Amino acid sequence: MRTLIRDVSVFDGERTIATADVVLDGDRIDSVGTDAGHPADVEVAGAGRTLLPGLIDAHTHVFDGSLAEALRYGVTTELDMFCLPQMLPRQRRLAAENDDVADFRSAGTLATAPGGHPTQLLAALAGTVLDGIDATAIDFVSDPAQAPAFVAARLAEGADYLKIVIDDGTVHGADLPVMTPEIAAALAAAAHDAGLRVIAHAITASEATIALDAGVDGLAHVWTDLAQDDPASQRLAERVRAQGVFVVTTLAYFEAITAQHLETADCARPGSSANAVGALRALRQAGVPLLAGTDATPFAPAHGAGMHRELHLLTEAGLSPQEALAAATSLPACHFGLTDRGRIAPGLRADLVLVEGDPTRDITATGSITDVWRRGVRQSR
């Protein structure tokens, strides 16, 4: 089927085209510019609207229903950072066989210390979204010598990258076992030998430093324990840039846990959200690649809707709307090796979002969705 989106403003993942005709042919983008004159089976009015690449959430946790919810909000790809092994095969089949859910990539089972984060959260979820699922059935790493076998198990599981957790629980108001620097380095080396990228969950400056020492490719969060004007934050950001590491923003996540602390009168880390913004600004100033991610779960932030909140928070933190949109499209595609998406160009997947207005000037326009295509299939609205 050929679809013509006529007279539409296009943000192609990197730049804006004021007015264009975009033609889709099956699951691919055929042309961007002026209509080549070939007949289309479907014509969509684009005047007053903006066409975006399908949004990519660079940090989620997929459960049943997550991928359908994501697609409703224009998130056409989720980069899952830990999916329970009992859920992972059916989520992969769902995304591969159906076009009414978001596509996804996954780390599969994350690497953490015995009893380390997030096992305390999984225990709390027992009987809810984990009803009937053994949340303790995950691997742990307690010795550097176990790293090659752990990575081999992830490859057998179909992991697209490796996620390691370096978190002593402080930000969560807990005291948790934490992965040692030696184990983190061994896991990163084994993953790189196997051709996998390595992304580290680290949410304090010291944890991020351990991750950088280990040689990771990306950080799954900004750090949250340094005040906005702390010079140490800028120094750490400069090191992140110098090592060529990308950072997933997850401001919506830190906003959510700050709200939870206030609601429960748990003041262990009431400044998480403000400090996260400070770290983000330091990273942007240093020129670090920033990827929009939410840490979406079945709770808060929500799949799909959380990405629009993340984009809003990014612009509040100082990114331009165009920078925020790139952080949710071309940049995650680039840094996770998704060469077939994240931009609007001939030959790429027709994963697209059409919105009313101009989100390159007003980021809140991303929420005014009129159409979503996944692999060229127009979704029912």
Residues above pLDDT 70, as percent of the chain: 92
Q: What integer pLDDT is reported at residue 69 of this predicted model?
A: 98
Q: Contact at 8 Å (CB) between 323 and 287?
A: no
Q: What integer pLDDT is reported at residue 257 of this predicted model?
A: 86
Q: What integer pLDDT is reported at residue 119 of this predicted model?
A: 81
7-24 average pLDDT score: 96
On the question of pLDDT at 159 being above 60, the answer is yes
Q: What integer pLDDT is reported at residue 261 of this predicted model?
A: 57
d(CA 159, CA 67): 18
Q: What integer pLDDT is reported at residue 268 of this predicted model?
A: 45
Least confident window among 14-18, 180-184, 268-272: 268-272
Tell me: do 64 and 31 sit in the same domain: no
d(CA 38, CA 288): 43
On the question of pLDDT at 90 being above 50, the answer is yes
Identify the band that residue 121 occupies on the pLDDT scale cut at 50, 70 and 90. confident
Tell me: do 144 and 237 sit in the same domain: yes
Q: What integer pLDDT is reported at residue 139 of this predicted model?
A: 81
Tell me: do 234 and 137 sit in the same domain: yes
Tell me: do 271 and 173 sit in the same domain: yes
CA neighbor of 18 nearest in space, from 34, 3, 4? 34
Q: What integer pLDDT is reported at residue 133 of this predicted model?
A: 60
Tell me: do 328 and 366 sit in the same domain: no
Q: What integer pLDDT is reported at residue 59 of this predicted model?
A: 98
Mean pLDDT of the chain: 93
Tell me: do 34 and 87 sit in the same domain: no
On the question of pLDDT at 262 being above 90, the answer is no
pLDDT digit string, tens, across residues 263-289: 555 544 556 889 999 999 999 999 999
d(CA 71, CA 84): 21
**3 state DSSP class of 318:** coil
Tell me: do 35 and 59 sit in the same domain: no
Q: What integer pLDDT is reported at residue 132 of this predicted model?
A: 58
| CATH number reported for the structural domain that contains residue 257 in this entry | 3.20.20.140
Q: What integer pLDDT is reported at residue 228 of this predicted model?
A: 87
| CATH number reported for the structural domain that contains residue 4 in this entry | 2.30.40.10
pLDDT digit string, tens, across residues 122-157: 766 666 666 656 656 678 999 999 999 999 999 999
Least confident window among 31-35, 86-90, 264-268, 364-368: 264-268
Least confident window among 10-14, 32-36, 126-130, 286-290: 126-130
Residues in CB range of 153: below 8 A, 6 or more apart: 109, 139
Q: Is 11 left (phi over 0), alpha (psi -120 to 50) or beta?
A: beta
User: Mean pLDDT: which of 103-107, 166-170, 297-301 is highest?
Assistant: 103-107
How many structural domains does the chain have? Answer: 2
| Phi (first) and psi of residue 56, to 5 degrees | -120, 115
| DSSP assignment string, 213-240 | HHT-SEESS---SS-TT-HHHHHHHHHH
- Enter the pTM of the model: 0.95
59-64 average pLDDT score: 96
Q: Count of CB atoms within 10 A of residue 356's CB?
A: 13
Q: What integer pLDDT is reported at residue 36 of this predicted model?
A: 59
On the question of pLDDT at 260 being above 70, the answer is no
pLDDT digit string, tens, across residues 309-361: 999 999 999 999 999 999 999 999 999 999 999 999 999 999 999 999 999 99
Tell me: do 167 and 27 sit in the same domain: no
Tell me: do 114 and 41 sit in the same domain: no
**3 state DSSP class of 165:** strand
Structural domain containing residue 317: 55-340
Q: Which residue has the higher pLDDT, 222 or 118?
A: 222
Q: What integer pLDDT is reported at residue 335 of this predicted model?
A: 98
Tell me: do 32 and 130 sit in the same domain: no
Tell me: do 236 and 360 sit in the same domain: no
On the question of pLDDT at 173 being above 90, the answer is no
Tell me: do 61 and 46 sit in the same domain: no
